[in-house]
Amino acid sequence: MRHPRLVLVVLLCLGSIPAASQTIRVPPKTGSGVHAVSALPSVLREVLTTPSISAAAGISLSPSIAAPAIPDPLPAAAPEQSPLSTLKSISEAAPSSKDPIEREEQSKEFWRQALGEAQAAPDDGAGAGEDKAQAWSRLPAERSSQENQARWNAALSEARKKTPAEVRRLLKMRAAGPKVHAELATSDTKTITEYRGVPGRIEALPEDGRVYRHWVRNAADLESILASGLLRAGPVSYVEFTRSRRAFIKDIFLDLKGPFFTAPENKANEPRVMNEDVEHFVDFRLPPGVAALSLDGTTVMMIPAEPGTFLPIEIVGSSPAP
């Protein structure tokens, strides 16, 4: 016997208990699902569960606990989970906002939380010759690529519904011509005028697969466009800028809004393009079903859309990526 002194003390103590009190009844299970006897100290548990000792002490166990074996109180080890299966479970909680801007912010917070859980997952040997850190390093890029593709597909579906109708609406306005909305400046050196309506020369762009160029002011915007394949309509309406050595004229057409682009041969510093030096650009084709307008020949073109709208493009080239 492993604990002769302690067992003897227990037996002596039990021997002093009146006979009417020597039947010990223990509930079959506790709230946690572990047999109550397993929660007793090891020495006393040995006394209660060893028939020869309990009989010698005059102790009778309740029939409800005499037959079942005492289960292991330690929980079974959870099965190992691979990085990819962990990612699948994490992705069920991924942000699902339909608004692209809100979804982007939710995605940043999602990945801050998800990667903390993912880094703690066990390595299942996925990827021959690749350690766990390398395996997990791929997951944000893979997830980001999947999200960008989903955003692009959603933007394409929306653009195919809205842009053809918007092009038709604007073309119908040609007959009426532009009307002065407000005169913001009138002087010998500066004239700025806002118009409602559209110039009579605007035309629908043919779907002929030609390549266009969108000039980009900074490297961060270029990186975002290359990653998502989307152009975002800005808040500025179409502007026709005419200047000379002593004066300039600026005509603003409030009804013409959307992402603007030009032909690859046109420089950014041309007055009707960007009127400034810009080093970044992306070359692209319009996806089938996405309608656009020529506002000034091949110098200025536009996909009609409200500010903040994301429009899909098929990227074919760009300035050096940041």
What is the identity of the amino acid at 226? L
Question: What is the DSSP code (8-state) at residue 286?
Answer: P
Lookup: tokens for 91 = 């992705």
Sign of CA dihedral 209, 267, 201, 160: positive
In contact, 293 and 207? CB cutoff 8 Å: no
Sign of CA dihedral 215, 104, 316, 168: negative
- Rounded CA gap, 256 and 259, in Å? 10
Backbone angles phi, psi at 189, to 5 degrees: -110, -15
Helix (H, G, I), strand (E, B) or coil at 262: strand
User: Could you state, in order of their start, the residue ranges of all structural domains in the chain?
Assistant: 4-66, 162-171+201-245+255-318
Residue 42: CB atoms within 10 Å: 11
Question: What's the pLDDT score for residue 35?
Answer: 46
Q: Which of these, 241, 260, 243, lies nearest to 252 by C-alpha position?
A: 241
Instruction: List C-alpha distances in Å: 39 to 44, 47, 60.
Output: 10, 14, 19
Question: What's the pLDDT score for residue 85?
Answer: 55
Residue 239: CB atoms within 10 Å: 16
Question: What's the pLDDT score for residue 49?
Answer: 53
Enumerate the β-bridge partners of residue 262: 213
Question: Which residues are CB-contacts of 271 (< 8 A; sequence separation ≥ 6)?
Answer: 241, 242, 243
Question: What's the pLDDT score for residue 180?
Answer: 95
Question: What's the pLDDT score for residue 292?
Answer: 98
Mean pLDDT by 10 residues, the chain (322 residues): 48 46 46 46 51 49 46 52 52 58 65 53 48 57 80 96 97 95 92 95 94 95 95 93 82 96 94 88 97 95 96 96 72
